[in-house]
Chains A and B, each alone.
Chain A
Amino acid sequence: MKKKHIIRGLAATIIVAAMPLSLSACAKGGSTSSNNDNSGGPKTISMWTHNAGNKDELASIQAIVKDYNASQTGYKVDVQAFPQDSYNQSVVSAAAAKKLPCLLDIDGPNVPNWAWAGYLAPIEGMDDTFSKFLPTVLGKWNDKTYSYGFYDVALTMVTRKSILEKYGIRIPTIDKPWTKDELTAALDKIKASGDFQYPLDIATSFTGEWWPYAYSPFLQSFGGDLINRNDYKSADGVLNGPQAVEWAKWFHGLVTNKYVPLKSGTDPAADFMNGKTAILYNGSWTAVATRAKFKDVLFLPSVDLGQGPKIGGGSWQWGMSTNCANPEGAADYLKFAAQDKYVASVSKATTNIPATDAAAKMVPGFGPGQENEVFLNYAKKFAVLRPPTPGYTFIATEFTKTAQDILNGADPQQSLDQAVKDIDANQKSNNYFQ
């Protein structure tokens, strides 16, 4: 009895003690908005970015903000940078607390998810500007544009001219890329020579978004896809159809035939430059380092596995939140930042593909006939957006796990069926994100 009494007393005390705490927390949450400076002077527009760990990109964004703040007196943009690893979590928790900043950057494939969740507000009145941007840098959902990016990246097969010539392999072009059989024959020749540990490296050691970004284009080149793009309701037939099974067998075959390592080294680009691998499947971001190492480096189009080469599209993009006290200011900044000179400066800082043709002319290397023009052409010709559905974040994790299992020898049909089942269940349990 005594003990029971004490426990009851304890509970009561704690509840009473906790109440003022939680009440004050509520009151605080209610009164603070994301913009606290409304008394005269310029209104503050808060901005979050993921690139705290990326000096060059951050500096280029800060330069735009500085120009913007100097160009007018109504608003003052205030940049806050986060490390990339914790950025998404910060945004999600800020959204839960209704404390999102006015402006924020978003990884392209996440845009529909955040738009659906009500984090992002559509960008109005910039359609003319957007018509000049690469379609893959625009974050669209339900016919509205929620974000735009300054740049895109392209996937490419990196190798050396001397390697291809030595083994008598045809140098593919954007109009006549390698076919599946040609690639196989090339890999066989290189493997037979024994000059390399592996003929090809597809960077399986990368984690996270790399898997769907880099390997779902192979699936699409076979004729499969991550989800049926007519209505985004089901993956049945596209992710587990005959083409998808063909893809899975081919993908696993890369490992069983010893064309690629099951698990790449921590830095596949370094392995390529050290002569361990002959061909490297990677993003255009490897261009700077590989060019510095080899004079005869080639950036080839990805392989045509049936439906033409495909590469992933969409990188980090900018949008505005629904939680902004000064939406006109945020929209004004987005218009200001979309100028070609800023597209050019950010692309240059990140050595990525400029999102507009006019900007491409201002960035060294991307002009007509210059060394980086191939990447722009690949992005224009081959890029496929990851499915713009709020369910993408789930699809991405399912695809990653399934692709990993397939590489490790899981039964293709069975694992793809399981992935389809899970994806369909998720789409359905969210009422198809209507």
Chain B
Amino acid sequence: MSTTQTDPTPIAATAVAPPHGSKPIGRSPAAVAWLMLVPAGVLLITFLIIPIILTFILAFTNARLISPRPATFVGVDNFIRLFQDETFWASLRNTVVFAVVIVPVQSAIALGLAVLVNKKMRGINFFRTVYFLPVVTSIVVVSMLWLFMYQPNGLINAVLARFGIQGPDWLGNPNTALFAIIVLSIWQACGMHMIIWLSGLQTIPGELYEAAEIDGATKWQQFQHVTWPGLRPTAVFILITITIAAFSLFAQVNLMTQGGPLDATTTLVFMAVRVGFQQQQTGYASAISLVFFALVLIVTLIYRYLTRDKDAR
């Protein structure tokens, strides 16, 4: 998560820093800049940098949440155990499947919604609000509601039964559980990305569309050659935020399936929490977190490479 937001602060500092003059240090703009950095810096270090460093260290120890004995260094034991653990591979697989499905589907649906609500008509704010409502609802509440809807005799199966379809036990069946969680997650989060797409859409000047129309472009051609290129920075931002959110899937799983049935919905974050808190194996959980950290890092680097600004070279 940190990778997307590390840069701004030092750059901002450089902008203020230059004039090194005869003024006493305490009054110089640079000193003021440093001073203003302190609150954010302290928080970032305490709650982000130090825990990350601790994770790196703990992953190579047998540290436990509750133990009268101090942790000892155990080398790569945790990782050997991890790579032999079937639940780990299931978690990794589910996390990747979830991300691979969520990223394109959710961003496409959100874009579709954004285009729909970008019209100038009466009451459009009503629709914007409706699509945004799930976002402001707590994920805990949303998960509990869908938990009821997904029951074997819940709302969804009752509706299916009207069309003569015998619905499965959505969350109890290993074949449908992850799919069920994916659907609910998209429903909950796509309003957020709709708003971001919408802000991107509104930065595109109306004259471009007028010009395209005069040139005889169809609606689809307008989207292809005016809208989409204009949305490029937004697209990169959305891609990265959805991916990171998808990788950290936890709340829905914890509330609805607890990783079951048969590991069908366990994820890396869920496994780390279960191992670290319920099973009290801090060292092992740190190893999982480290693998997760590496995974997110690699994906982010790939994105940065793919979406690098080619014109700037």
Contacts and interface: CB of A to CB of B under 8 A. Distances in A.
Interface of A: 2-3, 6-7, 9-10, 13-14, 17-18, 21, 89, 92, 95, 113-114, 116-119, 207, 261-263, 265-266, 393-394, 397-398, 401, 404-405, 408-410, 418, 425-426, 429-431
Interface stretch (B127-135, B198-206, B272-280, B286-294): B272-280
Interface string B256-268: 0011111100000
B42 A117 contact: no
Contacts of A114: 66
Nearest to B46: A18
A153 B34 CA distance: 62
A6 B10 CA distance: 7
A265 B148 CA distance: 10
A320 B65 CA distance: 21
Q: Which of B17, B41, B281 lies at the interface centre, i.e. has the most chain A CB atoms within 10 A of its CB?
A: B41
B260 A117 contact: no
Contacts of B172: 262-263, 408
Given A10-B34, A397-B279, A21 B10 contact: no
Interface in B30-67: 34, 37-38, 41-42, 45-46, 62, 64-67
Contacts of A409: 262
The DSSP consensus for interface residues of chain A is helix
A13 B37 contact: yes
12 contacts: A10-B37, A14-B37, A18-B46, A92-B65, A119-B66, A207-B258, A397-B274, A398-B279, A401-B260, A408-B172, A409-B262, A410-B262
Interface string B89-115: 000000000000000000000000000
B260 A405 contact: yes
A105 B282 CA distance: 25
A430 B277 CA distance: 16
A394 B260 contact: no
B144 to A, nearest CB: 10
Q: Across chains A and B, which 7 residue pairs bring their CB atoms closest together, nearest first?
A: A408-B261, A14-B41, A117-B66, A118-B68, A17-B38, A397-B278, A263-B172
A421 to B, nearest CB: 10
Nearest to A3: B10
A429 B62 CA distance: 8
B262 A408 contact: yes
Nearest to A405: B262
A9 B20 CA distance: 15
B14 interface: yes
B192 interface: no
B79 to A, nearest CB: 15
Interface of B: 10, 13-14, 17, 34, 37-38, 41-42, 45-46, 62, 64-69, 81, 86, 148, 151-152, 169, 171-172, 174, 258-263, 274, 277-281
B280 A394 contact: yes
A379 B258 CA distance: 31
A409 B41 CA distance: 51
A263 B279 CA distance: 24
Nearest to B262: A408
Q: Which of B261, B263, B274 lies at the interface centre, i.e. has the most chain A CB atoms within 10 A of its CB?
A: B261
A243 B14 CA distance: 71
Given A14-B41, A14-B42, A265-B151, 19 more contacts: A2-B14, A3-B10, A6-B14, A10-B41, A14-B37, A17-B42, A89-B277, A92-B66, A113-B66, A263-B171, A266-B148, A393-B280, A394-B281, A397-B279, A401-B260, A405-B261, A408-B261, A425-B81, A430-B67
Contact of B41 (A3, A13, A266, A398): A13
Contacts of A18: 42, 45-46
A398 B85 CA distance: 13
Contact of B261 (A9, A404, A431): A404
A28 B66 CA distance: 23
Contacts of B14: 2-3, 6
B38 A117 contact: no
A89 B66 CA distance: 11
A14 B47 CA distance: 13
A200 B258 CA distance: 24
A408 B34 contact: no
A284 to B, nearest CB: 26
Contacts of B258: 207, 404
Contacts of A410: 262
Contacts of B86: 418
Given A262-B172, A393-B280, A397-B274, A116 B68 contact: yes
B54 to A, nearest CB: 14
B199 to A, nearest CB: 31
Contacts of A262: 169, 172
Contacts of A118: 68
Nearest to A110: B66
Nearest to B68: A118
B205 to A, nearest CB: 36
B265 to A, nearest CB: 12
A95 B67 CA distance: 11
B17 A117 contact: no
Contact of A6 (B13, B42, B81): B13
A131 to B, nearest CB: 30
Contacts of A9: 34
Contacts of B62: 429
